C-alpha cells in the first residue's frame, strides 16, 4: 500500500478504559483540516461498526466524530496518527481483530476531487 493511501496507523488498535482506540493516518501528501476528512465506514471482524458515539483524538484534544465537518482550522499534520475512539467496542489485549476502514478526503484546493481509501488489516490489540 502506498504511503499516500494508507489509513490505518502504525500504532494499530489499543484497548483503553474508554473503548477501543484505532490509529489512523491521513491518506494524502500534505496536512489537511479535519473538516475535509470523512471517517468511515468501519468494520471489525466483518461487522459494520456504528460510529454515532465515536470520537476523534488528536494532539491532546478530543471531539465527537459528528463534529469533524466543523473543524476547518484544526489541521491533521501529515506525519501524525489521529485516533478513532470507539466507546462501544471492547477487546482484550493480545486478541486479534480484522479492521476495515475507509477515509474519504476532499482536498480543499481541488474542486470536485473526493478520494476513497479503503484498507483492511489484521491487528493485535495492544495495551493503551
Partner 1 sequence: MTTTATGPQTGVTLYSFTNEYLTRQFELDTLLAEVAKRGLGPNIEIIGFQNFREFPDVSDKFAEEFRQMIAETGLNPVSCAINSDRFLKPGAQPIEDAALVEYHKRQLRSAKKLGFSLVRYQFALPVHLLPEIAPYAEELDIRMGVEVHAPMWAGHPAVQAYGEMYDKLDTPYLGWIPDFGGTASRIPESMLDAARAKGAKEDLLDKLKEVWLEDGMSHEKAGRLREWAAPKGHGPLEIQAACLAFFILSNHDPKSWAALVDRTIHIHGKFYGVSEDLVEEAIDYDTILPLFKDGGFTGTMVSEWEGHAYDMRDAFEQVRRHQAMARRIWGS
Q: In degrees rounded to 5, what are phi and psi of residue 14?
A: -130, 145
Distances 59 to 37, 80, 87, 112, 118 between C-alpha atoms, Å: 16, 9, 19, 29, 24
When asked if residue 90 is in the footprint of partner 1 (CB under 8 A), the reply is no
Which of 11, 40, 78, 97 lies at the binding interface for partner 1 (CB under 8 A)?
A: 78
What angle is formed at CA 52 by the lines to CA 109 and CA 23, rounded to 5 degrees? 65
Stretch that binds partner 1, among 12-20, 32-40, 44-52, 92-100 (CB under 8 A): 32-40
Integer Cα distance of 85 and 36 in angstroms: 19
The residue range among 2-10, 12-20, 42-50, 90-98 that interacts with partner 1, by the rule CB under 8 A, is 2-10
DSSP codes joined into one string, 30-47:
S-EEGGGEEEEEEEETTE
Residue of 61, 116, 122, 124 that binds partner 1 (CB under 8 A):
116
The yes or no reply on residue 106 touching partner 1 (CB under 8 A) is yes
Determine, following the binding rule CB under 8 A, whether residue 31 of this chain makes contact with partner 1. yes
User: Could you tell me the smallest distance in angstroms from the CB atom of residue 102 to partner 1?
Assistant: 10
What sign for the dihedral angle of Cα 11, 15, 16, 20? positive
Contacting residues toward partner 1, per CB under 8 A: 2-4, 10, 25, 29-33, 35-36, 38, 69, 72, 75, 77-79, 106, 108-116, 118
Amino acid at each position: 500500500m502506498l504511503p499516500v493511501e494508507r489509513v490505518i496507523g502504525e500504532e494499530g488498535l489499543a484497548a483503553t478504559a474508554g473503548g477501543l482506540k484505532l490509529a489512523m493516518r491521513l491518506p494524502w501528501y500534505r496536512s489537511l483540516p479535519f473538516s475535509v476528512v470523512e471517517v468511515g465506514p468501519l468494520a471489525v471482524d466483518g461487522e459494520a461498526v456504528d460510529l454515532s458515539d465515536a470520537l476523534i483524538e488528536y494532539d491532546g484534544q478530543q471531539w465527537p466524530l459528528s463534529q469533524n465537518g466543523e473543524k476547518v482550522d484544526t489541521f491533521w499534520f501529515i506525519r501524525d496518527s489521529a485516533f478513532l475512539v470507539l466507546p462501544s467496542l471492547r477487546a482484550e489485549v493480545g486478541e486479534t481483530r480484522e479492521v476495515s476502514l475507509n477515509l474519504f478526503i476532499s482536498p480543499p484546493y481541488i474542486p470536485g476531487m473526493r478520494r476513497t481509501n479503503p484498507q483492511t488489516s489484521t491487528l493485535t490489540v495492544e495495551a493503551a
